[in-house]
């Protein structure tokens, strides 16, 4: 007889006992045999809360309820746009301004050993880096950007968010998009928790152009992946969403608008969202309510003029939000199209000072 699969749903409603705060969130499966489900709630402040959690599968339904008290965690909270000065960011929990000082570490979770992941986060934290771009499902299948990088038993760029027939094959991994590779997601989660304890924002990059292997755009497989990321990671205060790196190379503007809107509608905490096109200032959904700040890459040396132009484009869109150029070169990376040394950490600061 054919196997009949019944869709399950785990939903929770959490509310402060005085009625001032209320959230409805979705849970997620955290075991390969379907025996463990989790649901998470991020309390906005110290208070007493009541909750109701409902599990449904087919005709079966079970509800549990109770109360708990949220205690002070001494964290700065979610990253928001400053309502008084919307060109800027602030920490929601403390009201402090957030100075955006980020770097890219796409394959941070490609390390097999958690200790190396944590060492990397700790090192960057000591250097005052407070934001990392980390991909959830991106894979490097082609060039490694001209760098002498090799995968091996300790690290890989062939990330596998789903079970794979051969994860090390860059073009034909044989992903089963109907399920998730739970050890990978659990490791990613441990990374988020370690970063959160250091007030480090992680930009969750859904995917990247270099992967070459993606769920079909707008498909049930893709939406399932995005929903799982929201349900699993949404209760972390230290995240923002990025639709994908070099996004205009493999997704169109309608997809970006629809997917950004989808995340905004389903993320109960409304974390900031952005997209990252390959061409600076282009393909940005600037006027849409889901779009929290710009993110693009521009390797030219005239950064001040670039940011001024970006502000003008944003003003024209009728929404003032922060402008960020998240890729303007890499330390010790000398691409063939640049003059020798032009993108080194020694050269760049002086060039950025020119107009």
What is d(CA 116, CA 141) in angstroms, rounded to the nearest whole number?
A: 23
Determine the pLDDT at residue 343.
55
pLDDT at residue 339 is higher than 60: no
Q: What is the DSSP string of 177-221?
A: TTS--HHHHHHHHHHHHHHHTTT-EEEEE--BGGG---PPTTSHH
Model confidence band, residue 305 (pLDDT cutoffs 50, 70, 90):
confident
Determine the pLDDT at residue 142.
66
pLDDT at residue 293 is higher than 90: yes
Coil, helix or strand at residue 129: coil
What is d(CA 188, CA 180) in angstroms, rounded to the nearest whole number?
A: 13
Task: Give the per-residue SS3 of 256-288.
Answer: HHHHHHHHHHHCCCCCCEEEECCCCCCCCCCCC
- Pick the residue with more confidence: 345 or 40? 40
pLDDT at residue 94 is higher than 50: yes
Determine the pLDDT at residue 5.
47
Which residues sit opposite 240 in a β-bridge? 203
Determine the pLDDT at residue 303.
78
Judging by DSSP bridges, how do beta strands 239-245 and 201-205 pair with one another?
Answer: parallel
What is d(CA 173, CA 150) in angstroms, rounded to the nearest whole number?
A: 18
Alpha helix segments (H runs only) across 52-155: 114-126
CB 225 within 8 A of CB 232: no
List the single range of 10-14, 145-149, 345-349 with lowest mean pLDDT.
345-349
Interval 189-211: pLDDT, tens? 999 999 999 999 999 999 998 88
Q: Record the tokens describing residue 87, joined without a space.
A: 């060109």
Interval 242-288: pLDDT, tens? 999 999 999 999 999 999 999 999 999 999 999 999 887 778 999 99
List the single range of 58-72, 192-206, 297-311 with lowest mean pLDDT.
297-311
What is d(CA 342, CA 313) in angstroms, rounded to the nearest whole number?
A: 28
Determine the pLDDT at residue 108.
97
- For residues 78-98, average pLDDT: 96
Report the b/e string of 110-147 with b at 16+ CB within 10 A.
bbeeeeebbebbeebbeeebbbbbbbbbbbbbeeeeee
Question: How far is it between the farthest Cα atoms of the chain?
Answer: 72
A 10 A CB-CB count for 66 gives 9
Highest mean pLDDT among 226-240, 273-287, 334-348: 226-240
- Pick the residue with more confidence: 45 or 147? 45
pLDDT at residue 348 is higher than 60: no
List the single range of 47-61, 249-263, 315-329, 339-353 with lowest mean pLDDT.
339-353
Determine the pLDDT at residue 151.
86
CB 172 within 8 A of CB 191: no
Q: Record the tokens describing residue 328, joined without a space.
A: 């303007």
Determine the pLDDT at residue 1.
42
Alpha-carbon dihedral sign for residues 256, 262, 263, 269: positive
Q: Record the tokens describing residue 101, joined without a space.
A: 């000082």
Domain architecture of the chain: domains with CATH: 8-70 (2.60.40), 79-352 (3.20.20.80)
What is d(CA 163, CA 179) in angstroms, rounded to the nearest whole number?
A: 7
Determine the pLDDT at residue 4.
45
- For residues 136-141, average pLDDT: 89
What is d(CA 26, CA 105) in angstroms, rounded to the nearest whole number?
A: 29
Q: Record the tokens describing residue 120, joined without a space.
A: 């990397």
Determine the pLDDT at residue 281.
76
What is d(CA 177, CA 160) in angstroms, rounded to the nearest whole number?
A: 11
Interval 20-59: pLDDT, tens? 889 999 999 999 998 999 999 999 989 999 999 999 998 9
Determine the pLDDT at residue 150.
79
List the single range of 251-265, 294-308, 340-354 with lowest mean pLDDT.
340-354
């Amino acid at each position: 007889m054919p196997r009949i699969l019944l869709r399950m749903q785990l939903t929770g409603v959490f509310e402060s006992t005085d009625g001032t705060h209320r959230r409805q969130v979705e849970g997620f499966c955290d075991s390969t045999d379907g025996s463990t489900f989790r649901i998470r709630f991020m309390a906005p402040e110290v208070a007493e809360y009541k909750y109701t959690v409902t599990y449904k599968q087919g005709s079966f339904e079970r509800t549990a309820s109770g109360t708990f008290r949220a205690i002070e965690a001494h964290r700065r909270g979610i990253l928001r746009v400053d309502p008084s000065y919307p060109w800027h960011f602030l920490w929601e929990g403390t009201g402090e301004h957030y100075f955006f000082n980020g770097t890219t570490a796409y394959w941070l979770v490609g390390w097999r050993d958690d200790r190396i992941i944590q060492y990397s986060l700790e090192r960057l934290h000591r250097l005052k880096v407070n934001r990392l771009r980390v991909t959830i499902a991106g894979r490097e299948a082609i060039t490694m950007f001209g760098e002498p990088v090799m995968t091996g038993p300790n690290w890989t760029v062939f990330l596998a968010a789903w079970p794979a027939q051969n994860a090390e094959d860059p073009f034909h991994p044989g992903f089963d998009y109907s399920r998730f590779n739970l050890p990978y997601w659990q490791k990613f989660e441990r990374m988020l928790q370690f970063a959160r304890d250091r007030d480090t924002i992680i930009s969750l990059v859904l995917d990247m152009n270099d992967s070459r292997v993606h769920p079909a755009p707008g498909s049930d497989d893709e939406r399932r992946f995005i929903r799982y990321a929201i349900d699993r990671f949404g209760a972390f205060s230290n995240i923002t969403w990025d639709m994908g790196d070099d996004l205009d190379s493999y997704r169109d503007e309608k997809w970006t608008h629809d997917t950004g809107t989808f995340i905004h509608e389903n993320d109960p905490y409304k974390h900031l969202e952005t997209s990252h096109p390959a061409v600076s200032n282009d393909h940005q959904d600037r006027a849409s309510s889901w779009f929290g700040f710009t993110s693009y890459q521009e390797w030219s040396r005239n950064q001040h003029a670039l940011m001024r132009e970006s502000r003008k484009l944003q003003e024209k869109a009728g929404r003032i939000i922060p402008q960020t150029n998240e890729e303007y070169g890499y330390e010790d990376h000398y691409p063939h199209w640049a003059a020798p040394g032009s993108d080194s950490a020694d050269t760049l600061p002086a060039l950025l000072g020119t107009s």
